[in-house]
Chains A and B, each alone.
Chain A
Amino acid sequence: MADMADSADVADQAVNGNHTGRSNGHGDWRTRLRPLEGLAAAGGPVSRIGGGLLSAAQDLGASAAGAAAHRVRRRLRADLDDRDPDWLRERLPLLWLLATIWFRGEVRNLGNVPEKGPVLLVGNHSGGNITPDTFIFTLAFSSYFGIERRFHQLAHNLVVTLPLSGALVRRGGTVAASHGNAEKALEAGAALLVYPGGDWEVHRPSWESARVDLAGRKGFIRLALEQGVPIVPVVSIGGQETALFLSRGNWLARALGLDRLLRLKVLPISLALPWGLNVGDFLGHVPLPAKITTEVLPAIDLGEEFGPDPDVDEVYGHLTRTMQETLDALAAERRFPLLG
């Protein structure tokens, strides 16, 4: 779900990309209607009426495209006030029921998160577009520290811009993944959950369930250094058993140009309920009731552990190694798939 990108303001690039895409679409729309313009200019009251309608349709099309682009832009720039703590509080029982009955979720050592102040929670990401580890952690965090403590999650642009589910996740505290949004959240004193592996890691094949793959993305480390906040690794297992993930389909995404158009580096292929063969996972799926176990590791103060000028690669190596060791231990505990 979430994706912490390296570039300084990827969201803005994405917005421009989307905007350009829509403008082009609008241009095509006008081009397609051009023969009708000629017809309208041919004279007569009927054709004048036709011309008027055409012009109105064009204006309507242009304003609709403009409004949609504005909405997307607004959703990609984090408005931290979109998070609604009361709404979230009232949804905790539903989340608790799902986490407890369906996923038998277990979040260990939440006490490792510093009691106060901004903190960067860095997780491995599992479960395709329906990521149980995210909402189980959100439930655990909100129950443990109280909904009064500001907690945000970074997510892929598509997640926060979708018409219905986008509104829901934004009320839950999710913002579009970008350096700017992350800075904004940390400056507001929030605990911020990021999944550097993003869509690359979340769609890894099920047989790589016990592998941490942050895809070499290190922007989150620079962010923690700039903001002077500690990093708390969060390691989960079980999400990759909620469907049979077969391939990331990165070759398919490239072939269809989705990487440039929608920032989608993958077009995952899986066997999932209720679809059977599920390509893209755009509509999500019904996750199998796999047990989800999450372990929160001790906070890493980068300045204290790596000196006054930490080397980003060294921090990345240390962090991924630590997370992998924990994931290995969680995998070793697991006796059966799904059952845990």
Chain B
Amino acid sequence: MRLNESIVVSAPPKLVWEQIAEPSNYLHFMSGITRWEVEGERRQGIGARYRMLIRVGSAEVGGLIEVVEWAPERDLAWTSVLGVDQRGRWRLRELPDGRTRVELRYSYGVAGAGLFGWIAERVAAPSLGANLRRSLQRLKRLVEHERLRAEASRRRAERARSAA
């Protein structure tokens, strides 16, 4: 089953990328996530592994995932190593007005689970989809807030320079 949610963030891709590339941010903005820990030496980039869990219904599901695609400010994709089968992708694209379209794709399932697997995927879809939407909204707030703070800080610095 594949879910796809998107949002437009009033900030350049660079600022969005800074948030999604840092694994310690995921617990702050990803809704339903109960665990997102770096596993191993590598924190970022291709081959970085994370242990993640997301609450879905009666269980926290997830497992070990690995980053398989890493194109800064454009694409970040991961796939499952252990646990439920999953693939995820952040897709950032700059809009002509300088804003960023952020797309979060997530596909999941359990290979070989047959009919009950098919049903379970569909039963889980509404709550998972809602979590993805909330995650994108939180990411948008976080990035836009960061942008405002950065701009305010820059203005303060300019005022201080001109006063001097």
Contact = CB atoms under 8 A, between A and B. Distances in A.
A146 B83 contact: yes
A99 B59 contact: yes
B117 interface: yes
Interface in B75-113: 82-84, 110, 112-113
A143 interface: yes
Interface in A94-110: 94, 96-97, 99-101, 103-107, 110
A96 B59 contact: yes
Given A139-B58, A146-B82, A146-B83, A100 B123 contact: yes
A140 to B, nearest CB: 5
Contacts of A171: none
Contact of B57 (A86, A96, A144, A146): A96
Interface in B46-82: 53, 56-64, 82
Given A101-B123, A146-B63, A148-B82, A93 B58 contact: no
A149 to B, nearest CB: 10
B59 A140 contact: yes
B3 interface: no
Could you tell me the dominant secondary structure of chain B's interface residues?
mixed
A93 B116 contact: yes
A184 interface: no
Interface residues of A, number: 25
B163 to A, nearest CB: 52
B82 A89 contact: no
A89 B110 CA distance: 8
B58 A105 contact: yes
Contacts of B56: 96
A140 B58 CA distance: 7
A90 B113 contact: yes
Nearest to B110: A93
B58 A107 contact: yes
Contacts of B83: 143, 146
Interface string A236-269: 0000000000000000000000000000000000
Interface residues of B, number: 24
Given A93-B110, A97-B123, A144 B59 contact: yes
A186 interface: no
Given A92-B113, A93-B110, A140 B120 contact: no
A290 interface: no
B119 interface: yes
A229 interface: no
Contacts of B84: 92, 143
A129 to B, nearest CB: 21
A90 B112 contact: yes
B114 interface: yes
A94 B116 contact: yes
A143 B58 CA distance: 10
Interface string B112-130: 1110110111011000000
A101 B110 CA distance: 18
A139 B59 contact: yes
Nearest to B111: A90
Contacts of A101: 57, 123
Interface string A67-105: 000000000000000000010011111101101110111
A93 B82 contact: no
A340 B92 CA distance: 44
Nearest to B109: A93
A102 to B, nearest CB: 10
Interface of B: 53, 56-64, 82-84, 110, 112-114, 116-117, 119-121, 123-124
Interface of A: 86, 89-94, 96-97, 99-101, 103-107, 110, 136, 139-140, 143-144, 146, 148
Closest 9 CB pairs of A and B: A100-B57, A93-B120, A105-B58, A99-B58, A94-B116, A143-B59, A93-B117, A100-B58, A93-B113
